[in-house]
């Protein structure tokens, strides 16, 4: 076969990567199909704008913010970047509809619903207001249902991730969900710390990736120096899910670095179960007390720097966080690693 003169037969790895990321990047309006996963107290104006300015997609973590506070954070982020960014809303927030309206009024282009399947009216309001809606899909059946309900993109997050987690690893979720969902872009999250992994998930059909842990030690991130130091010291095996002591008292699994707080949580559960069995507390009161143990604990670690008693939410990729670096440097390292892996593969063939 003849090829036009002067045109290279093989594209550069960077160009191939761009092509593999094209669908996800077009959906986000970014250079790279990489989302900075929203992290409560961490993903505020500085980290979010730095991610978007560097070519990725920053996402503000609304967490428990009330509508006025969210409006202020969005405006402050818009003052720092003219690039697209999103807002992550927790579906059980009591003011969810107002928060959606705040995003729409501010012209936020992408709303990420997290923490459960979004209520129909919130999803409808977001879409009718012109925003693209991104939802978390914890299983294939739910992924299909979310697409039918109007989700414009999905995130599948494996149990390797930091923070609140489901039971299934990304390795398995990716195999179960990526081949079956073609109508909308699917971004994968959980345990991604290097470019080689990004390349592999793109090859499996992901439109892009979402990373959280890897961006905590960004220079632009406002997390307390103690929080960042804990990440730099931490190894994959230190980032463990919370353990439920008694089958009758459910505990939502949260992956975090082990510390005094995680030890005390076990003792606290044991004490509440003991008091319930001794008739000193009702079951509801004991359960509520167990749930309240971690209230405010992420803020204590991220903002106040109490990494002994606070909740140091971190994913298993924490072992790949070795220094504080600007966001742009982290992104170019990830892209270089992906490009090098692609080059090596083509040399092996
Ligand atoms: C400290 C911390 C806080 C987080 N807070 C949230 C949150 O508020 N909402 C949410 O949807 N995900 C939250 N996540 C999950 C991230 O958005 C992201 O999906 C996850 O970190 C990806 O996995 P990785 O940490 O292995 O990269 C949090 C993760 C961390 C580490």
pLDDT in tens, 92-123: 999 999 999 999 999 999 999 999 999 999 99
pLDDT at 349: 73
* Cα separations in angstroms, 43 against 1, 34, 303, 336, 341: 52, 15, 12, 25, 30
pLDDT at 11: 83
Assign residue 149 the CATH number of its domain.
3.20.20.70
User: Which residue's alpha carbon is at the smallest distance from atom 19 of ligand 1?
Assistant: 37
pLDDT at 314: 98
Distance 313 CA to ligand 1 centre (A): 8
Kindly state the tokens that stand for 246. 């008694």
Helix (H) or strand (E) holding 310: none
Domain containing 305 equals 235-313
State how far the Cα of 280 lies from the Cα of 61, in Å rounded to an integer.
39
* Domain shared by 193 and 285, yes or no: no
* Domain shared by 174 and 273, yes or no: no
* Domain shared by 193 and 279, yes or no: no
* Domain shared by 197 and 306, yes or no: no
Phi, psi of 240 (to 5 degrees): -115, 150
Residues with pLDDT less than 50, the chain: 1-4, 6-9
CB 77 within 8 A of CB 49: yes
pLDDT at 110: 98
For 255-266, the pLDDT digits (tens) are 999 999 999 999
pLDDT at 345: 84
* Cα separations in angstroms, 279 against 102, 268, 285: 47, 17, 11
For 141-153, the pLDDT digits (tens) are 999 999 999 999 9
* Domain shared by 199 and 142, yes or no: yes
For residue 6, being part of any structural domain is answered with: no
User: What SS3 class is residue 41?
Assistant: coil
pTM of the model: 0.95
pLDDT at 2: 43
Report the pocket of ligand 1 as residue ranges, CB < 6 Å: 37-40, 42, 61, 63, 88, 114, 157, 160-163, 189-192, 210-214, 313-315, 317
For residue 244, being part of any structural domain is answered with: yes
For residue 217, being part of any structural domain is answered with: yes
Distance 163 CA to ligand 1 centre (A): 5
* Domain shared by 304 and 333, yes or no: no
pLDDT at 10: 62
For residue 230, being part of any structural domain is answered with: no
* Domain shared by 81 and 173, yes or no: yes
* Domain shared by 302 and 326, yes or no: no
Distance 39 CA to ligand 1 centre (A): 5
* Domain shared by 56 and 156, yes or no: yes
* Domain shared by 208 and 338, yes or no: yes
């Amino acid at each position: 076969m003849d090829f036009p003169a002067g045109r290279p037969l093989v594209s550069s790895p960077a160009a191939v990567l761009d092509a593999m990321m094209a669908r996800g990047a077009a959906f986000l309006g970014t250079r790279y199909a990489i989302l900075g996963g929203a992290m409560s107290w961490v993903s505020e104006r500085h980290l979010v704008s730095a991610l978007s300015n560097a070519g990725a997609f920053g996402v503000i973590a609304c967490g428990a913010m009330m509508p006025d506070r969210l409006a202020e954070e969005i405006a402050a982020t818009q003052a720092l970047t003219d690039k697209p960014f999103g807002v992550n809303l927790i579906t059980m927030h009591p003011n969810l509809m107002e928060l959606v309206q705040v995003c729409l009024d501010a012209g936020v282009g992408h709303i990420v619903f997290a923490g459960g399947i979004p209520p129909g009216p919130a999803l409808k309001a977001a879409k009718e207001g012109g925003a693209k809606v991104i939802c978390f899909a914890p299983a294939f059946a739910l992924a299909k249902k979310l697409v039918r309900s109007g989700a414009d993109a999905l995130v599948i997050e494996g149990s390797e991730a930091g923070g609140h987690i489901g039971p299934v690893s990304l390795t398995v979720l990716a195999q179960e969900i990526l081949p079956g969902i073609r109508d909308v872009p699917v971004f994968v999250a959980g345990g991604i710390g290097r470019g080689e992994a990004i390349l592999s998930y793109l090859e499996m059909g992901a439109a892009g990736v979402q990373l959280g842990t890897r961006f905590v030690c960004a220079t632009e991130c406002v997390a307390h120096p103690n929080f960042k130091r804990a990440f730099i010291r931490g190894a994959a095996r230190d980032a463990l899910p919370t353990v439920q002591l008694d089958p009758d008292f459910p505990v939502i699994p949260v992956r975090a670095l082990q510390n005094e707080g995680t030890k005390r949580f076990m003792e606290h559960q044991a004490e509440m179960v003991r008091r319930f069995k001794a008739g000193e507390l009702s079951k509801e009161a004991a359960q509520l007390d167990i749930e309240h143990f971690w209230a405010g604990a992420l803020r204590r670690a991220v903002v106040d720097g109490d990494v002994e008693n606070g909740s140091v939410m971190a994913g298993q990729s924490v072992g790949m966080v070795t220094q504080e670096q600007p966001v742009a440097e982290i992104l170019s390292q990830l892209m270089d690693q992906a490009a090098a892996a692609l080059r090596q593969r083509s040399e092996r063939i």
